[in-house]
Structure 1
Amino acid sequence: MRVIAGECKGRPLKAVPGTNTRPTTDKIKESIFNMIGPFFEGGTGLDLYGGSGGLGLEALSRGMNHFIFIDKDQRAIHTIKENIKQCNYEEKTEVFRNDAKRALKALHKREVRFDMIFLDPPYAKQMLIKDMEEIDKLELLADDGSIVTEHGADISLPEQVGNFQRIRQETYGKTTTISIFKRI
């Protein structure tokens, strides 16, 4: 795993030890950023299931200003912090150990709105629709923001979830699908 483009291009990233976390492959990560970027002029992002932090760090490397990483696994939190340090992004990031639902409520209380939200939960515990409904209810996505979901190819997400419309969907191999949503 590595940062693919931008100011940290080529920087190696550590994976979370164990089998609870499934890192996004470099090939899929590159495809995601070709669909949503590839580069940014600022913005704030959220990675609700941070894992190793690879998606958020890629977005920072490509020009986002600030990223918040959430994960409930202590090993993931440790790995995210190591990868942030590897990229020298301590000043551009916040990392919290929390479950997704509590984290969304806490972010709402802070009145934060995000330009980009990554939702890449463990495939066995997919809560994407409920997460998007909560993001919609709490108004956490900026008007022109995007929600990028990574899910099992066997999971079928509807065209619309709350006030979010799916604008693109790509399947990679037999296991992974990327679905991108925008506010309507």
Structure 2
Amino acid sequence: MRVISGEFRGRRLAAVPGANTRPTADKVKESMFNMLGPYFDGGDALDLYAGTGALGIEAVSRGMASATLVDKAYPAIKVIKENVGQLPHPERFTVLKSPVDRALKTFDEAGRQFDLIMADPPYAKQEALAQLALILELHLLAPGGTVMFETGMDVVYPDVIPGYEKVRRQTYGVAQVLILKQSEAE
């Protein structure tokens, strides 16, 4: 596992030991970011279910000003801190040990908004539609911001997701990636 492109390109990232964390394959990660931009000009990213921190690290490497990496598992937090610590600018990252829904409410209370929200939940515990609704309800997406969810193929997205416009949906074997923007009406 490595950083694909940008400022930190080629840096190897440590993996979380055991089978509880499923890192996004480099090929899929590269495709996901190519669909998103592939490069950014500042902004704040939020990486939910961060695992190794690879998505948030990739976002900052490609031009995001900062990233907040959230995971509730101690082994994941330990690896995220290790991965961020080996980068030239670790101060551009915030690591938060918390369940995702609690973290989202904490960000709301602090008035935080993000330009890019990425989520790669464990396939057995996917609550994508509920979390998309919560992101809108808590006003966590900055104007013009983007949300990217990677889920298993068993998640069936409706044709219309209230509050969002679908930008793209792509499948990769057992995974699918959905990219959304907040609807103009919101």
TM-score range, shorter chain: over 0.9
Moved more, 136-145 or 87-96: 87-96
Aligned residue for 1:103? 103
Residue deviations 1:75-108 (CA, integer Å, cap 9, x gap): 0001111110122332101111110111000001
**Pairing of 1:4-15 with structure 2 (within 5 A):** 4-15=4-15
1:176 aligns with 2:155: no
Quote the sequence identity (%): 47
Q: How large is the Cα RMSD of the aligned pairs?
A: 0.9
- Give the unaligned 5+ runs of structure 1: none
1:159 touches 1:165 (CA, 8 Å); kept in 2? Answer: no
Q: Displacement, 1:52?
A: 0.3
TM-score, normalised relative to structure 2: 0.96
Moved over 4 A (4+): none
SS at match of 2:33: helix
* Letter in structure 1 aligned against 2:111: E
Q: Displacement, 1:47?
A: 0.7
Aligned residue for 2:140? 140
* Letter in structure 2 aligned against 1:134: L
**In 2, distance between residues paired with 1:179 and 1:110?**
27
**In 1, distance between residues paired with 2:141 and 2:162?**
12
Aligned residue for 1:76? 76
Aligned residue for 2:38? 38
Q: How many residues align?
A: 183
**In 2, distance between residues paired with 1:84 and 1:110?**
24
Q: Displacement, 1:158?
A: 2.0
* Letter in structure 2 aligned against 1:181: L
Aligned residue for 2:163? 163
Q: Displacement, 1:9?
A: 0.5
